[in-house]
A and B are shown apart, each in its own frame.
Chain A
């Protein structure tokens, strides 16, 4: 439906202004008329409960990944770690190639089922992009900033906090954004190892061929992913100083 509305636009007319609302409206009408809204509404209590579980999983594993990943990235970027750092990053890079579902499965073999293996699997999956971007972002800060800071009498900690981190912040934030996108996208799989979350509705819906149930899980998951990305985008826009922020 949305396509026909789009193709009817005269060439050269401003499209973006109204196509999207109209398409949304058409989609909404379609869904409303097919009675799916009613079916989804049946699962409202489940949606609320499972969304909470889902958000707790995302926030705890993502938060832990940030709290661990950034300091590890900083540590690896220190000149004294130069020799070890490349090896560690190689291992991390290999780790990134393992599919997240496999990470969760491996986590289950270690920690059994429930919240703990789900948390751990998601934590590991989100850790890699954060460490990698923090490390790469700090190494990419041009040497002459560090030299100037050093020559002006900043201590190593001052150089890190006042010069290196602010200048690497955009890259670090991009890593966190990627990590959280992976995290939110992988969290529904946590259901498979007993971690709970909106995956319960999705997978059960698939198994029962119940479209309403499936959508009751899929739509909030999608909305959450969009919301998290939006919030990260806003944070990236507003928290990074103007002088080093390509978005401003």
Chain B
């Protein structure tokens, strides 16, 4: 019998999460990258550094910011969420059919928006339940829920595009307050709410802890499953709101409303410093990532990079930005996979 005190030297003990004090060097990477990219574009293009374009960047970032808020909580737990296209599609069509529209006589106004967000939350709940009760990895459950959402959306779509006539919802995209569209202020509000949940609620703190060391949390007597379900539900609600926002912008409910937002949001979160392995980053990190990605898209158009080159150039800059952002933590020497 070996002595229990003799530790196996091959077992790598994960470093204990350090207490977070103020802004560490690790958190400073993405904001610095944002400032650098911004400065480069501003120097290259006089069109880029106008007030109008700044407003445009903020407006363009709105939907992605809301999606990123939701997905950040899932990523913090170390799970992944690919349900965005389905959830956004379902809520986009649902809201278009519930507010005043050209398909039916509904005119639910705010209540319709609320129902669409709840539908998103419901689909998120489904992802979470499948994850904890069937023990299917989040990658698969959320992919399945995305298909379910798209299916629901296609059924409701029924061959005729619903166009919204609702003045309020349409106005969110058109009317401005302090230079920014209402939708942009909604996104700012989401980031704020997301940050408060992450920082001050048990849900947010447990999401961190689950991503950091789920076993430890479970061993200390915390029932992890309900928090996982709650996180997916919260994320679904954010996606639902994002679907509503796309509908507001396009004045029409589209099944494809969320196309591409899943990977855009994951990219933004990772660029901002939220790790796919969980336990790190947060809503504010992801918000910086969203701005970085949006500035990049906008800047490449403004400086006049040919569309044939943009995809490739954008990819290269994202990879460069991520590697610059994770540079300070290279010494943690995590396995890259």
Do A and B interact with each other, yes or no? no
Residues of B within 8 A of A (CB): none
Residues of A within 8 A of B (CB): none
